[in-house]
Amino acid sequence: MTQTLDPTAPEQLRLAQEPCPDCSCCTARLCERGRLSVGECMAHTPPEFTVTVAGCPCSAVTTRGTHAWRAEMIRITKHATEDPMPENAEDILRALTAAESFTDQGGFLRTLRARGYVTGREPAWQITDAGRRYITARTERRFTTPVEVLSVDTTARTANVVVVGWNIDAPVTVLLDQLTSATDMSADDLTGRFVEAKANCHTTDPDDLVLTRIQMSPDLPAGWMGIEKTEAGQ
């Protein structure tokens, strides 16, 4: 006897999506959106499925290169440079970085764990990548530099920029929403414009370049980034 498929069944009304090849919790399409969202995959999932996709490695704040990770690097850098923790709390992170013993006289471990700077428990506390980023940001030199917005991608919510004080020949990717929020300008209006920002210009990895204190740049002389030709054509 041939079984007749119910044309109104859910599996007939909506085609099944391809599973993500990099995780066991999401579809490929969901992870593609999650990587480009500070809200991760959870922000694009019905409430009944958020527990299932929570912590998806494809979009997680701990996964290098995701939007959530980029936003977290900005948050940590601003925390370290604009509103740093008490010295005793930082001493714990420095001790963990060097695998040295320490005492938590101020009771800061609970706060450090809540911020994601440490993980584990007594006596096996460990510093996280976020904690290492905080300590690095406390000591690395930051410079005010012009930043040229070459192009924007409103779908991916990213901008391709040149951080002049870092490398004028190597564009880097930054979060578009960080620029629009700081300058109060639309994405289209930012294209081709210069902004001014603080940046850790000594870093070697473009993904580790973090912009803070972004504002519109004053007008710059025409051709100042290149060598202008003379009327004689030299």
At residue 226, the pLDDT reads 54
Q: Is residue 148 located within the same domain as residue 134? A: no
Question: What's the rounded Cα separation, in Å, for the pair 218 and 169?
Answer: 22
Instruction: Encode pLDDT of 55-94 as tens digits.
Output: 999 999 999 999 999 999 999 999 999 999 999 999 999 9
Q: What is the pLDDT of residue 231?
A: 38
102: in domain: yes
Mark the ranges of the chain whose per-residue pLDDT is less than 50.
1-15, 227-234
134 and 147 inside one domain: no
Domain tally, the chain: 3
Q: Which of 83, 84, 87 is nearest to 102 (CA)?
A: 87
Considering the domain architecture, whether residues 160 and 212 belong to the same structural domain is answered as yes
Domain termination residue (choose one: 103, 120, 139): 139
Q: For residue 12, tell me if it sits in a domain.
A: no
Mind listing the pLDDT tens digit for each residue in 70-80?
999 999 999 99
Distance CA 17, CA 29 (A): 8
CA distances from 114 to 75, 102, 128 (A): 14, 19, 12
Q: How far apart are CA 126 and CA 105, in angstroms?
A: 18
| Two tokens, residue 113 | 């764990």
pLDDT given for residue 135 in this prediction? 97
Pair of tokens at residue 143? 């410079």
User: Same domain, yes or no, for 128 and 96?
Assistant: yes
Supply the pLDDT for residue 229. 37
Same-domain check for residues 77 and 47: no
Residue 88 lies in a domain: yes
Tell whether 104 and 158 lie within a shared domain.
no
Amino acid at 84: P
Same domain, 174 and 199: yes
Check: CB of residue 168 under 8 Å from CB of residue 146: no
Domain at 161, CATH number: 2.40.50
- For 45, the 3-state DSSP assignment is coil
Q: Is the peptide bond before 206 cis (omega within 30 degrees of 0)?
A: no
Looking at residue 121, its pLDDT comes to 83
pTM above 0.75, yes or no: yes
